[in-house]
Amino acid sequence: MPAVKRSRAVICAHPVKARTPLRASAGRLWDVPEGLKRPNPTLSASLERGNWLGGIAPNQFPAVTDQQNIKSEQIALLLTTRIVRGEFAPGEKLLQDHIAREYGVSHVTVREAFLYLAGRGLALRLPRRGICVAPLDRSAVEELRLMRQALEPMALLHSVPHLTPAQIAHAEAMRLACDAAQTAVDWEEANRQFHMAIIAGCGMARLSEEIDNLQLLYARHFLAKHASRWKPRSDPDHQAIMSAIRERDAARASAVMQRHLARLS
């Protein structure tokens, strides 16, 4: 990702409360994927279903072209990365004018990007104050942990019988990338990809999207609270899950995942 000049920050003084995260498209967290060279139908469908920021209706925005959609998705993913990595602090105001100038895009493009951030639970719209980065609070983190414990073992249970050899190979590659990571950021990216790779066979797109969003939100908490204490290590739970997957033992893989997620802090 090219280096960008930091927008001037304003901290929202008004207390903010986390919203329930909405679904969004799956993908890599740390860079803009090649697929963004064309419109993303999942994100477009999310907007069309009514995932509008703070109750703003679609007809309140000017018509958006396909090219603007591509740009807004790119800006949204760049801002997502910066929020998750802590470059924008919880409660910090996102200034539309500054972001538009920083990335050389229109205000319409930035507004569409803000819709995406709000849909993923990363930003909030406050009356008369604009868009602010969503807070990080302990109750929200506990909710994320419980939701992941409920959904990921179930998705894995349905995924294991249907994973292809290529999908299993990709999951193993992500496991090895986790073990080889030398920074918390690299580990978190590989870990997130591993968790998504092993549920790729579940055949439930909405469930996968929800899990992807939960992992994204948890990544933000992890990097804010635990990155400074993180140390390179191998993960025996990941190894046990892969062993169960190779043996097509869905129940064992799901049980290990349940135990693995119970350790989240």
pLDDT digits (tens, 9 = 90+) for 56-87: 333 444 455 566 567 888 999 999 999 999 99
| Residue 229 pLDDT class (50, 70, 90 cuts) | very high
Q: Is the pLDDT of residue 142 over 60?
A: yes
Would you state the structure tokens that stand for residue 261, as one six-digit string?
């997620």
Interatomic CA distance for residues 176 and 138, integer angstroms:
31
pLDDT of residue 140: 85
More confident residue, 111 or 21: 111
| Residue 44 pLDDT class (50, 70, 90 cuts) | very low
* CATH fold group of domain 10-133: Arc Repressor Mutant, subunit A (1.10.10)
Torsion 133-139-140-142 (CA) sign = positive
Task: Please count the residues of the chain.
Answer: 265
Stretch 39-63: mean pLDDT: 40
Query: How do residues 171-198 score in pLDDT, each as one tens digit?
Result: 999 999 999 999 999 999 999 999 999 9
Interatomic CA distance for residues 67 and 74, integer angstroms:
11
Residues of the chain with CATH 1.10.10.10: 10-133
More confident residue, 102 or 53: 102
Yes or no: say if 45 and 14 are a contact pair by the CB < 8 Å rule: no
pLDDT of residue 69: 66
More confident residue, 139 or 146: 146
- Cβ burial, residue 17 (10 Å; 0-12/13-18/19+): exposed
* CATH fold group of domain 138-262: Four Helix Bundle (Hemerythrin (Met), subunit A) (1.20.120)
Across all residues in the chain, what is the average pLDDT?
80
Stretch 100-125: mean pLDDT: 92
pLDDT of residue 76: 93
Residues of the chain with CATH 1.20.120.530: 138-262
Give the relative orientation of helices 236-246 and 250-262 as an angle to the nearest 10 degrees. 170
More confident residue, 167 or 58: 167
- For residue 168, the number of C-alpha atoms closer than 13 Å in the C-beta half-sphere is 16
pLDDT of residue 68: 59
How many C-beta atoms lie closer than 10 Å to residue 215's C-beta? 21
Q: Is the pLDDT of residue 221 over 90?
A: yes
How many C-beta atoms lie closer than 10 Å to residue 234's C-beta? 11
pLDDT of residue 128: 77
pLDDT of residue 219: 94
pLDDT of residue 65: 58
pLDDT of residue 137: 83
pLDDT of residue 129: 77
- Among 16, 260, 19, smallest CA distance to 143 is for 19
| Residue 151 pLDDT class (50, 70, 90 cuts) | very high
Q: Is the pLDDT of residue 154 over 60?
A: yes
What proportion of the chain, given as a percentage, has pLDDT over 90? 66
